[in-house]
Structure 1
Amino acid sequence: MQFLLLLLIIPSFALVGLQSYTSFGDSANAVAKVAGQSITQQELDAAQRQQMERMRQMFGDQFDAKMFDTPAAKQGVLDNLIAQRAQMAAVTREHLMVSDLTLQQTLLGIPELHGADGKFDNDKYRSLLAAQGTVPKIYEAGLRQDLALQQLAGAVQGTAFAPKSVALRFSNISDQEREIQELLFKTTDYAAQVKVTDDMLKAYYDKNSQQFEIPEQVKAEYVVLDMAAVAAQVTVSDADIKSYYDQNVAHYATPEQRRASHILITTKKDASAADKATAKAKAESLLAAVRKNPAEFAKLAKENSQDTASAEHGGDLGFFSEGMMVKPFTDAAQKLKEGQISNVVESDFGFHIIQLTGIKPASVKTLSQVRDEIAASIQKQMAAKKFAEMADLFNDTVYEQANSLKPAADKLKLAVQTVADLGRHPNPAIAPTAPYNNQKFLTALFADGAIKNKRNTAVIEAAPSVLIAGHVISYKPVTKQAFADVKESVRAKVMQATEAEFAVKAGEAKFAALKAKDDTAGFAAAKTVSRANRQSVSGNVFDAVMKADVSKLPAFVGVTLPGQGYAVYRIGKVAQPAAVDQARRQSEQQQIASALAQQEMTAYIDVLKKKAKAKILKPVVASIPVDANLASK
């Protein structure tokens, strides 16, 4: 589970950058320390929120925030932050670097950043980052660190391999085929033998009385305070929008962008003068060729450029702004006019021949173009601030005027709503996001103070920025259905249970006899099952068949089939398939190698934690619910 959380959390760092984890708060607020640097409670909470948001986006209404509101879940997040910090310390210690070209190629390889023409769209790039509350410089710094971490992890995981003997053994077990026959003892075959009396029915009713209870229920009023309700009460003026635009006009500006293609002849940083001279000579030769026939630039780039990523596209690098390329490349591209070809340009990566293919002049979006975006942003900020103020007022009013929710609803301009037939636990038939279908709220609703004294519940945080308080209107205690009303239902249950007893007894007797002496009479036609092909065999049957000892054949297993009876299975043959699926076996070997790589990485991270002297300073705890704060009053 911890490794799964690691996989989910680490990509999120690429979205928001790692810089938030490099500024450390007050040591008194630290929950852990790694490589002499603190991990604060705020950083832990932020990491948990990011993970919850990612899971919410992945699973939508299926997402249950309660699974993350536990000490174990928070501990998992903290462990991953510690692992992250320990790896970053190793990256720094080992001087692992990510080149500008690698960073640029990574950005160019993100499909979401491409426009309709399939090329990198800088405007889209900036707007996506703005929606996440960050800017290119910060995002790229975080991405650079993520790529460095991948270098570190790749160096470790790349050493793992699956021994052929292990992979072969695994595949043979997976492919092994067992020929089985079924002898079924159905419960319905024994119906005639079952004699049910009223005493049996009454005894079952008394013994299993809970089956015939109607759970306690309440009808309640409730009031919800959420961001939607707050936002509806927030008005954004034209003056606010104009002021925001004037103060942040640089945010809506797009610098000049240039598009270029290049042919790269690479050299190593420590290359000898002779090697550099050879590479430069080749570049000069190619330059002469493209100057002679500029229309052949793309063809020559595809055939000769050693930047394989751009070579596939005829050397095209898409549009880029200042700072995205290494300085020598940028300086040369800035001097070119559209269509011009540069001289040979030397950089840390080798020798470039650059052709400028397009220029997008700098631009600034007008106020009218971004009015709606700004209004939404201001409204969101104002709503967040107002929510905190209204939450305190909501909390106080619900507590101080505990006989009714109306004062709180009137004061905050909220609606009092009603819901019936609520039980002590959430109802799966109701949308899990319904605020009243929340375990904390239901627990508060069924408390003595709410039911007996008819007092408001405490304010409960049903979800992030969703507060709810309730008031019980009526309460129905647990009631037991009369025997006469459920007699026929009891009869059906007793019949089924007794028939099953007869079926199991007969099946077990047959199973014992077959173990003593083989007899194929009564068995169904044989079919072959394997771990790769279960033949629609149910889970418990399949497990019993595949776990059976087949050192001596025929072998037998007996299995109880809930609701059906009992079955005996005869295993007559065990063999390997005539044809082997080599592609699947190759995939299985890769899976084993991946599992071993994960093991290696886990062990390596443990070593890094020790080197970084990682230490947890405070135990993690689940979030403190709002009602606990209220209770302290």
Structure 2
Amino acid sequence: MFDAVRNNRKIVQIFLVLIALPFALWGVDSYVRGGSAGEDPASVGDSKITNQQFQQAWREQQDRMRQTLGANFKPEQMNTPEARMATLNALIDKRLLLVEANHSRLTVSDDALRDFIGRIPALQENGAFSNARYESALRAQGMTQPQFEAQLRQDLTLQQLVGAVGDSGIVSRTSGDAILRVESEERLAGELRLPAAQYASQVSIDAAAIKKFYDENARLFQTPDQVRAEYVVLSLDALLAQAKVSDEDVKAWYEGHKDRYQSAEERRASHILLLDKDKDPAKTKAAAEALLKEVQQSPAKFADIARARSQDPGSAAKGGDLGFFGRGAMVKDFEEAAFKLKEGEISGIVKSDFGYHIIKVTAIRPGKQRSLEEVRPDIVAELKHQAASKRFAEAAEAFTNLVYEQPDSLKPAAERFGLKIETSGWMPKNAEPQQALGFGPLRDAKVQAALFSDDALKNKRNTEAVEIAPNTLLSARVVEHQAAAARPLESVKAQIEAHLKVREAAALAKKAGEARLAELQKGVAGDKANWGADKTFSRLQPLPAPPVVARAVLQAPVAKLPAYVGMTLDNGDYAIYRISKVSQPENVDEARRRAVARDYAAVVAQEDFAAYLASLRARTKVEINRKALDANER
């Protein structure tokens, strides 16, 4: 089953994107047990999707969108019935798959799990699994080893099911070649352009037209509602800069946590493995004993014997070398034997779940206690972070209360917490995302809404403390406000007239261009235009024109050549394209052929997967509690 996952990794990833919102995994058991009823947003068979699980998925989906969109993220756009239903449907789909995996008794063995963890690059050192890195990574994520392994086991179980569906997507060579022919088709086309500017002299705009446009588009000629504001930010980073740590505190921490600064002993070993295939264990063991005698007679030839006789495909070619490893990286029996040997010593026969090993320890890297001076910067940073985190937890509530209780000034909060009062430039209401980037921390949607509230505009009171990022609170206050106002007609008259001239000239160019195109397509007029140099249009090459032009040229009917297609360009010009030749490249790269087949197979597999999910829903009772879902609206 894992071969399907490994061989179709791209397809598996596509499926997981379709169903896997970034939410916490609660374990297979929790998916097949019932939960409390009444407030649950949905049920799948006999199991419930609880409100807590939905809220967790919703929060993490918000975080994912915030990281993806950055300054363009607007929480109010996410907080819609459609977005909440999409989140719930993703939870339902994943629940269906996990219940199906449980019913099918799919699981991941301890050996498979251990092998997967051992191959994670971030947990390796010098090409071998490092238990110290593993433990450090778990601490950084705030997880225990059982928690992480339970979560990973569930993910791998789900991938088995998804991989099995993905492996069923089969695309014939004929279908792949048909798509490749469409992709690799090349069309030669020349351009005839009718510039809008050449029709400008035929356009006359009167005062009535200008006034009409002004009246119908008054919103275009308004200065926006805008404010200037001052603000203070209370953050963990600001308090971190203020934190002080004494030498005594550093020394005490080091003495109490010496084990954290000690690297574990590691060993480098080579081995010769004879696989135990359960056919004749006694025969395999006898062969291992005979091989051991051969090794003992010529210990210097251990690597040569491993290359010739070892049945471990991963290490045999390297003379049996397994690299450095710490405790916990190898199966128990192998580890115990390896850590009893001295450097250069060869073991007896060691039996494991894999077969019979002969082990040689080639190097020992002893554990090392790092000195206080070596780790002082790390300890200082950690103690400062602890102190700042504690102070922030205490200060957050006080900051929130202070900006509310003394609403006419930010100075009391700034003085109490050692903060600097910052001042913004002019900020228009409902600014475009790109413009909002210049607002700094005030670009947060909740801050913007608070600044343009009646209380902030009329009474110039502090906004409430807003969490603009984890461990970051901000309060702002309007110092100047300019209400939206219409610009007088006289000030924008020339602008409107120029716009209308361009628009009318483009309309004339389009009219003339469409008439010329119709004549060319009917063959009424002779084709004596100056088409300019032909350009090659192909889906596999850089486009010689804007995408909208290339799309029109590549999609135009070409049963009869020359073929013609026309369109209005972004600048108002009208362009006609004459397609004079359609051809296929003489040679198609085989790698490209395989890539097209792979991508097409992924599309087919996605459709198969969608049908599979639909079949799971059809045979499983799925109920959605819309009242509970609506109650989650914030």
The answer to whether the Cα contact below 8 Å between 2:21 and 2:90 also exists between their aligned partners in 1 is no
Match of residue 132 from structure 1: 141
Query: Please, which of 197, 203, 225 is the counterpart of residue 188 of structure 1?
Result: 197
Residue 513 of structure 1 corresponds to 519
Residue number among 528, 539, 548 corresponding to 2:547 in the alignment? 539
2:117 pairs with 1:110: no
Shift of 1:559: 0.6
In structure 2, C-alpha distance between the alignment counterparts of 1:297 and 1:396, rounded to whole Å: 74
Between the aligned partners of 1:432 and 1:278, the Cα distance in structure 2 is: 76
Q: Provide, for residues 31-55 of structure 1, a one-character-per-residue CA deviation record: whole Å limited to 9, x for no partner.
A: 5566766655555555566667777
Residue 576 of structure 1 corresponds to 584
Q: Which residue identity is paired with 2:509? A: A
Q: Counterparts of 1:68 and 1:241 in 2: how far apart (Å)? A: 48
The one-letter amino acid paired with 2:322 is: L
Q: Is the 8 A contact 1:345 1:351 kept in 2?
A: yes
Distance 1:125 1:578 in 2: 53
Q: d(CA) in 2 for partners of 1:480 and 1:468?
A: 33
1: CA distance, partners of 2:26 / 2:368:
30
Aligned 8 A contact 2:196 2:572 in 1: yes
Report the Cα distance in structure 2 between the residues aligned to 1:309 and 1:517, rounded to whole angstroms.
70
Which residue of 119, 142, 164 corresponds with 1:155? 164
Q: TM-score, normalised by structure 2?
A: 0.82
In the alignment, which of 545, 556, 574 is matched to residue 564 of structure 2?
A: 556
Q: Is the 8 A contact 2:128 2:325 kept in 1?
A: no
Matches within 5 A, 1:354-393: 354-365=359-370, 368-393=373-398
Is 2:491 the partner of 1:498? no
Residue 223 in 1 paired to residue 232 in 2?
yes
Report the counterpart of residue 457 of structure 1 in structure 2: 463
Contact 1:445–1:470 (8 Å) recurs in 2: yes
Give the distance between the partners of 1:423 and 1:492, measured in 2 at CA. Answer: 26
Conservation of the 8 A alpha-carbon contact between 1:177 and 1:530? yes
Give distance in 1, aligned partners of 2:157 and 2:515. Answer: 66
Q: SS at the partner of 1:558?
A: strand
Matched, 1:296 2:301: yes
* C-alpha distance 208-37 of structure 1, shift in aligned 2 (>3 A): closer
* Matches of 2:302 and 2:630, distance apart in 1: 60
Alignment partners' CA distance in 2, 1:114 and 1:581: 37
Q: Judging changes above 3 Å, is the alpha-carbon distance between structure 1 residues 234 and 53 closer, same or farther for their aligned structure 2 residues?
A: farther
The answer to whether the Cα contact below 8 Å between 2:263 and 2:367 also exists between their aligned partners in 1 is yes
1:540-562 Cα shifts (integer Å, max 9, x gaps): 22222233333444433221112
Distance 1:141 1:364 in 2: 32
CA offset at residue 443 of structure 1? 1.8
* Aligned residue number for residue 474 of structure 2: 468
The alignment status of 1:305 with 2:279, answered yes or no, reads no
Q: CA deviation at 1:587?
A: 0.5
Closer/same/farther in 2, CA of residues 301 and 245 from structure 1, 3 Å limit: same
- The 3-state SS of whatever aligns with 1:183 is strand
* Other-structure match for 2:454: 448
Deviation digits for residues 557-597 of structure 1 (CA, Å, limit 9, x no counterpart): 22111214111223344443333333212101011222333
Which residue in the other structure is 1:405 paired with? 410
Q: Aligned AA for 1:419?
A: S
Query: Where does residue 319 of structure 1 map in the other structure?
Result: 324
Correspondence list, 1:274-293, <5 A: 274=280, 276-293=281-298
Residue in structure 2 matched with residue 567 of structure 1 by the alignment: 575
1:51–1:208 CA distance, 2 compared to 1 (3 A): closer
Check 1:286–1:371 CA distance in 2 against 1; reply closer, same or farther (3 A cut).
same
C-alpha change, 1:222 and 1:312, in structure 2 (3 Å) is farther
In structure 2, relative to structure 1, the CA distance for the partners of 1:278 and 1:552 (3 Å cut) is: farther
443-452 vs 68-77, which moves further:
68-77
Provide the residue aligned with 2:7 in structure 1.
none
In 1, Cα distance between equivalents of 2:283 and 2:373: 56
Q: What is the aligned partner in structure 2 of residue 631 from structure 1?
A: none
CA distance in 2, matches of 1:316, 1:54: 43
What secondary structure does 1:330 align onto?
helix
The one-letter amino acid paired with 2:535 is K
The CA distance in 2 between the partners of 1:426 and 1:602, in whole Å, is 39
Give the counterpart of 1:415 among 414, 420, 432.
Answer: 420
Counterpart of 2:444?
Answer: 438
Alignment match, 2:352: 347
**Alignment CA distance shift 1:597-1:315 (3 Å):** farther
Paired residue secondary structure (1:335): coil
Q: Is the 8 A contact 1:70 1:621 kept in 2?
A: no
For 1:509-535, what per-residue CA distance to the aligned partner results, in whole angstroms no more than 9, with x for missing partners?
Answer: 112222322532213343332322364
Matched, 1:592 2:600: yes
Decide whether aligned partners of structure 1 residues 79 and 251 sit closer, same or farther in structure 2, where only a CA change above 3 A counts.
Answer: farther
Q: How many residues align?
A: 615
Once the two structures are overlaid, the 10-residue window that deviates more, 229-238 or 332-341, is: 229-238
Partner SS, residue 404 of structure 1: coil
Deviates further, 379-388 or 507-516:
379-388
State whether residues 229 and 477 of structure 2, in contact with CA within 8 Å, keep that contact through their aligned partners in structure 1.
yes
Distance 1:528 1:371, change over 3 A: closer
Q: What one-letter code is carried by the residue in structure 2 that aligns with 1:549?
A: P
The answer (yes or no) to whether the contact 1:234–1:379 under 8 Å persists in 2 is yes
- Supply the distance in 2 between the matched residues of 1:60 and 1:373 (Cα, whole angstroms): 33
Name the SS of the counterpart of 1:331 in structure 2: helix
Q: Whole-Å Cα distance in 1 between the matches of residues 41 and 363 of structure 2?
A: 52
Residue equivalent to 1:7: 17
Pick from 159, 162, 175 the counterpart of residue 166 of structure 1. Answer: 175
Query: Taking structure 1 as reference, are residues 230 and 26 closer, same or farther at Cα in structure 2, changes over 3 Å only?
Result: farther
Paired residue secondary structure (2:351): strand
d(CA) in 1 for partners of 2:240, 2:326:
37
Task: Report how far residue 446 of structure 1 moved.
Answer: 1.2
The gaps in structure 1 that reach 5 residues or longer are 625-633
- Give the structure 2 partner of residue 394 of structure 1: 399
- Distance verdict in 2 for CA 1:610–1:363, change over 3 Å: farther
Query: Structure 1 residues 318, 166: CA separation in 2 closer, same or farther (over 3 Å shift)?
Result: same
Q: CA deviation at 1:76?
A: 5.0
Aligned residues with identical type, % of pairs: 39
1:254-269 equivalences under 5 Å are: 254-268=263-277
For residues 58-73 of structure 1, what are the structure 2 equivalents within 5 Å?
A: 64=73, 66=75, 70=79
Tell me the CA shift for residue 97 of structure 1: 4.8
2:6 equivalent in structure 1: none
Q: Is the 8 A contact 2:185 2:583 kept in 1?
A: yes
- 8 Å CA contact 2:342–2:361 kept in 1: the answer is yes
| Inter-CA distance 476–68: structure 2 relative to 1 (3 Å threshold) | closer
C-alpha deviations, 1:307-338, integer Å up to 9, x for none? 32333543332333333322222232233222
Question: Does the 8 Å contact 1:444/1:450 carry over to 2?
Answer: yes
- Please say if residues 19 and 138 of structure 1, whose CA atoms lie closer than 8 Å, have aligned partners that are also in contact: no
CA contact (8 A) 1:17 1:138 kept: no
**1:211 partnered with 2:223:** no
Shift of the 256–80 alpha-carbon distance from structure 1 to 2, 3 Å rule, reads farther
Choose 281-290 or 43-52, whichever is displaced more: 43-52
Q: Aligned-pair distance for 1:393?
A: 2.5
Alpha-carbon offset, residue 504 of structure 1: 0.9
